Amino acid sequence: MNADNRYIRFDWAVKRMLRDKANFGVLEGLITVLLNEPVHIVELLQSEGNQDYADDKFNRVDIKAKNDRDEIFLVEVQLTREVYYLERILYGTAKAITEHIHLGENYGEVKKVYSINIIYFDMGKGADYLYHGRNKFVGVHTGDTLQINTKEKGALRLRTPEEVFPEYFIIRVNEFNKVAKTPLEEWLDYLKNGHIKDDTQAPGLQEARNKLQYMMLDNAARHAYDEHINAVMIQNDVLGNARAEGLAEGRAEGLAEGRAEGLAEGRAEGLAEGRIEEKHAIAKSMKQMGLSAEVIAKATGLSEADIAAL
């Protein structure tokens, strides 16, 4: 792809550009492809997780949006590993539900929430690049699916639990290694490589092609984008060695303590300590490459004081 046809990666665009209403079409396209139905975003909903702060974390960005049916979409991009990632997904959906129902309101006002998680790290075992989860209540003995009576517009109708409970999508970007043929595959190719076909018909990618070109950025934004990509590439380069060293030491310590205090606790502590060691190893490698403490802090989540002490 030549420079004139280079596109801004989604993980950067979602923080810097896609919060503009004029660019909602890109985000709508991704959600439309996942849900397999047209989605129209009417507004972005503010919370502490999707505001821009001076010390925004490098490794995570997120957007909370609402469509014209009052359904809520949590779109999160995660660049580095986190031990309790599933727990945080659950917390985020629960918080979104409680934020949008007021004290004293009828429970019928609870909003449907879709949690879309775009991850750029190895979170565990699984051969697919897209996973979808939702709640169903299945009879233990009969195998049938429970349906609940509900009142809508003065009439009773049956609803299934998946119409009410949150739905979860986990997109494992690094696991995508296919030639993009379907709209979903085209989106994965863009999420992973920043590629957009000239003749794409995938929802949202036409808008991305027109609005997210690298050459359209001003000098300051282009510099910020290049720094972001540089930090991601460096982190990916050193992650393998850091993971091996950090996790090996962390697991060893964790297992040693686990024999005394319980194997499960030891493993948890070992993984946590391994992650800290991993960050330190990444920071040391980046310092040796001559990168500034500010860039290293964004890439690792460590404070500049911690980095100076390495």
User: pLDDT of 66-105, one tens digit each?
Assistant: 999 999 999 999 887 777 889 989 999 999 999 888 878 8
Per the CB < 8 A criterion, the answer to whether 105 and 83 are in contact is no
* Minimum mean pLDDT range among 144-148, 198-202, 225-229: 225-229
Here the tokens at position 309 are: 């002490």
For the entire predicted model, the pTM comes to 0.72
β-pairing verdict for 130-134 and 167-172: antiparallel
Q: What is the pLDDT of residues 14-70, one digit of tens each?
A: 877 888 888 899 999 999 999 999 999 999 987 544 444 434 444 566 899 999 999
Q: How many residues does the chain have?
A: 310
* CA-wise closest residue to 184 among 198, 168, 200: 200
Q: How far is the CA of 230 from the CAs of 5, 57, 225, 272, in angstroms?
A: 19, 16, 9, 26
Angle at 69 between CA 111 and CA 138, to 5 degrees: 50
Rounded Cα–Cα distance for residues 203 and 181 (Å): 14
Q: What is the pLDDT of residues 295-309, one digit of tens each?
A: 788 777 788 888 888
Per the CB < 8 A criterion, the answer to whether 136 and 145 are in contact is yes
